[in-house]
């Protein structure tokens, strides 16, 4: 079984990378730093998926975004690019050791002033955030809790707002013969949301799979 996070073949992914918006210089720097200094750099959102997130955010023009799982801040910045002029993104990172790197990365960008970093377990942090309604939520944290996070944020998302969940194709395992616990968890997540009549949804085969959910 393929263990790369990218679902698409290398040659197709390279073609897609070459025919989307170029990667901003600050994000190129964050990409390099992540691969040089951080364990499991393959968790980075990366160029093409980053441009997808940026475009979705720009189409929605949100005032309030919630991100669960900051990692090194690449996706945070991409989502922040689409914020309204008075918008803010609240991003939550459970790993306290990432704070200095995240603050440094955010400071490299024009959108850094629109990013509010929160450190700690997401379930505890969410209730402390002053904003109670969001236009867009991006879930990319500990995978076993994906559906739990979906349930927590659902009532906080406005009608017409988006919830985006990363890694839902799980290296292609969800549509294969694998039956490990993580794969089963993703299958259950995808099946539950596919059956949820409160939302419209589709899976984009971008990198490791993006589940895009719009609340009715």
Please tell me the predicted confidence (pLDDT) of residue 4: 60
| Beta-carbon count within 10 A of 181 CB | 8
Query: Is position 179 within any domain?
Result: yes
State pLDDT tens for residues 110-128: 999 999 999 999 999 999 9
Q: Does residue 95 contact residue 142 with C-beta atoms inside 8 Å? A: no
Half-sphere exposure of 206 (CA within 13 A, CB side): 20
Residue 44: partners with Cβ closer than 8 Å, 6 or more residues away: 31, 34, 35, 71, 72, 74
Query: Is position 4 within any domain?
Result: no
User: Is pLDDT above 50 for 53?
Assistant: yes
* pTM for this entry: 0.95
Cα–Cα distances in angstroms (integers) from residue 95 to residues 53, 72, 121, 181, in the given order: 23, 10, 9, 23
Average confidence (pLDDT) over 179-194:
95
Average confidence (pLDDT) over 180-190:
95
Average pLDDT over the chain reads: 95
Q: How confident is the model at residue 7 (pLDDT cuts 50, 70, 90)?
A: confident
pLDDT over 90 percentage in the chain: 94
User: Is pLDDT above 60 for 54?
Assistant: yes
Average confidence (pLDDT) over 177-199:
96
**Which has the closest alpha carbon to 77: 100, 96, 97, 104?**
104
User: Is pLDDT above 70 for 3?
Assistant: no
Query: Is position 1 within any domain?
Result: no
Please tell me the predicted confidence (pLDDT) of residue 93: 98
Q: How confident is the model at residue 2 (pLDDT cuts 50, 70, 90)?
A: very low
Cα–Cα distances in angstroms (integers) from residue 159 to residues 62, 66, 154, 195, 206, in the given order: 13, 15, 10, 18, 25
- Classified as helix, coil or strand, 168 is coil
Counted domains in the chain: 1
Q: Which residue has the tokens 């197709």?
A: 12
Cα–Cα distances in angstroms (integers) from residue 59 to residues 53, 62, 78, 81, 162, in the given order: 10, 9, 13, 11, 11
User: Is pLDDT above 90 for 129?
Assistant: yes
Query: Is position 2 within any domain?
Result: no
Question: How far is 209 from 167, CA to CA, in rounded Å?
Answer: 5
Indicate which CATH number applies to the domain containing 110. 3.40.50.150
Task: Provide the residue range defining the domain that includes 115.
Answer: 10-215
């Amino acid at each position: 079984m393929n263990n790369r996070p990218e679902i698409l073949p290398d040659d197709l992914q390279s073609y897609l990378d070459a025919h989307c918006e170029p990667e901003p210089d600050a994000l190129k720097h964050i990409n390099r730093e992540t691969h040089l200094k951080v364990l499991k750099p393959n968790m980075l959102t990366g160029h093409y998926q980053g441009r997808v997130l940026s475009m979705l955010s720009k189409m929605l023009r949100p005032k309030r975004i919630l991100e669960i799982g900051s990692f090194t801040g690449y996706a945070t910045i991409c989502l922040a690019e689409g914020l309204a002029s008075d918008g803010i993104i609240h991003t939550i990172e459970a790993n306290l050791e990432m704070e200095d790197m995240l603050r440094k990365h955010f400071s490299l960008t024009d959108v850094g002033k629109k990013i509010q970093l929160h450190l700690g377990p997401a379930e505890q942090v969410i209730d402390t955030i002053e904003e109670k309604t969001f236009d867009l939520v991006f879930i990319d944290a500990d995978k076993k809790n994906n559906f739990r996070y979906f349930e927590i944020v659902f009532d906080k998302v406005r009608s017409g707002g988006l919830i985006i969940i990363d890694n839902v194709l799980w290296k292609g395992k969800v549509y294969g013969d694998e039956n490990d616990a993580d794969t089963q968890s993703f299958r259950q997540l995808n099946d539950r949301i596919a059956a949820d009549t409160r939302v419209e949804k589709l899976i984009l085969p971008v990198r490791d799979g993006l589940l895009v959910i719009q609340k009715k």
